[in-house]
Amino acid sequence: METWPKTGISVKFLRVEGLEAGGALSPAEGLRHAAFRMEKRRTEWLAGRLAAKNLLAETGAPGPLSSLEIGMDRLGRPSCGDSLLSISHSNGWAMAAFKPGSAFLGADLEKIEDRHPAWYRDYFHLSELPAPDPSEATRLWTIKEALMKALGLGLTADPLTVKEAGGKIELYGKALERYKELGSPAFSVEARPFPEGFWTAVAADNPLPKR
Residues 190-201: pLDDT tens digits?
Answer: 999 999 999 999
Tell me the CA distances in angstroms from 16 to 11, 39, 141, 152, 204, one per residue in order. Answer: 16, 12, 22, 25, 25
Q: Please state, as a whole number, how many other Cβ atoms lie within 10 Å of the Cβ of residue 2.
A: 10
Q: What is the pLDDT of residue 6?
A: 82
Question: For 112-178, where are the E strands, in sequence order?
Answer: 162-165, 168-171
Is there a domain that residue 106 lies in?
Answer: yes
Tell me the residue range of the domain where 77 lies.
2-204
Assess if residue 122 is contained within a domain. Answer: yes
pTM exceeds 0.75, yes or no: yes
Please check whether residue 78 lies inside any domain of the structure: yes
Burial 48-60 (b: 16+ CB within 10 A, else e): bbbbbbbbbbeee
Q: What is the pLDDT of residue 207?
A: 62
Nearest Cα residue to 138 out of 182, 199, 197:
199
210 within domain boundaries: no
pLDDT per position as a tens digit, 6-18: 888 999 999 999 8
pLDDT digits (tens, 9 = 90+) for 139-156: 999 999 999 999 999 989
Which pLDDT does position 166 carry in this prediction? 81
Residues in contact with 171: Cβ distance below 8 Å, sequence separation at least 6, in sequence order: 147, 161, 162, 163, 179
pLDDT band at 208 (very low <50, low <70, confident <90, very high): very low
- 76-95: average pLDDT: 95
CA geometry: angle at 95 spanning 90 and 96, to 5°? 140
For residue 190, what are the contacts with CB-CB under 8 A and spacing of at least 6?
A: 4, 6, 7, 9, 201, 202, 203
CATH assignment at residue 143: 3.90.470.20
- pLDDT tens track for 154-201: 989 999 999 998 889 999 999 999 999 999 999 999 999 999 999 999
Residue 131 lies in a domain: yes
Number of domains in the chain: 1
Average pLDDT, the chain: 93
211 domain residue, yes or no: no
Residue 67 within any structural domain of the chain? yes
In a domain, 177, yes or no: yes
